[in-house]
Amino acid sequence: MRGFRRPSGWAVLVPVVALSAGLLFATSGRTAEGTDLRGGEVLAMSGLIKQRDAAVSRQEQQLAALQAQVQRLTQQAGSRDGAVAAAQAQGDAGALSAGLVPLSGPGVEITLDDAPTRSDGVLPAGATPDDLVIHQSDVQAVVNAVWASGADGVAIMGKRLVATSAVRCVGNVLLLEGRTYSPPFVVTAIGNGSAVRAQLAASHEVAILQQAVDSYGLTFSVRDRGTVALPAYDGPLDMTYATPR
């Protein structure tokens, strides 16, 4: 049996959710005045998520078109103005390290997935439902180890990561750059496969994930790829931060 529990955001949220649920039940009972409320909230939420994904997809297409237009106009300006051309050259020099251009080369592909569901619905001995899913901490641990190996570029689910990229999960759903993804989660990286494996083996957080893999059958696999193609980062570049009040 494992000696450590993988951290889950739900553990912190349970008291808050319980309190909120009590308030919601009371409000629902008062609103319904004794009548049954239809169970359409889950379906409504699912529909909202799909609508949001569709909206993000449309906005990504608009962004790509605008970025192409800006690039054309900038190149035109650079051909006429030496100062603009110098600024372009300076920006291009840092684009590779910033993840703003596509990149390809040999690397690795890492797959993380929940444990398979048993047909009888019975959990493995000593397991809770929380033990059988991939958590945010698991994905973040793998990404941290890959970066520590000296990888030239990293992507999750085909989305390029940069220094400000955040890995967030709600339950076992990954939230990345405004899009939602369900497991299996695939991390691809351009770099030395042996160095990546060494950093994964040295990570304490990955070791905790490996215990769950051994005990409950989660998937954690690493395989070499002769060629990994990573797209350019296309997310927002502005910083979001909190301010004191």
Asked whether residue 235 is assigned to any structural domain, the reply reads: no
**Residues 125 and 207 placed together within one structural domain of the fold:** yes
Can you give the residue range of the structural domain that contains 171?
Answer: 103-230
Q: Are 92 and 134 contained in the same domain?
A: no
Residues 60 and 144 in one domain: no
Lowest mean pLDDT among 42-46, 130-134, 147-151, 190-194: 42-46
Query: What percent of the chain is predicted at pLDDT more than 90?
Result: 41
Which strands make up the sheet holding 159-160, listed edge to edge?
A: 159-160, 153-156, 185-190, 103-113, 219-230
Neighbour-count burial of 121, counting CB atoms closer than 10 A to its CB (0-12 exposed, 13-18 middle, 19+ buried): exposed
Domain boundary residue, one of 98, 122, 143: 98
Establish if 207 belongs to a structural domain: yes
Average pLDDT of the chain, as a whole number? 79
Could you read off the pLDDT of 109-148 as tens digits, one per residue? 999 999 998 878 788 888 898 899 999 999 999 999 999 9
- Per the confidence metrics, is the pTM higher than 0.75? no
- Residue 39 confidence (pLDDT) above 80: no
Strand pairing report for 153-156 and 103-113: unpaired
For the residues 94-112, what does the mean pLDDT come to? 86
Is the same domain home to 166 and 226?
Answer: yes
The whole-number pLDDT of residue 89 equals 62
Which residues does residue 104 pair with via DSSP β-bridges, in sequence order?
229
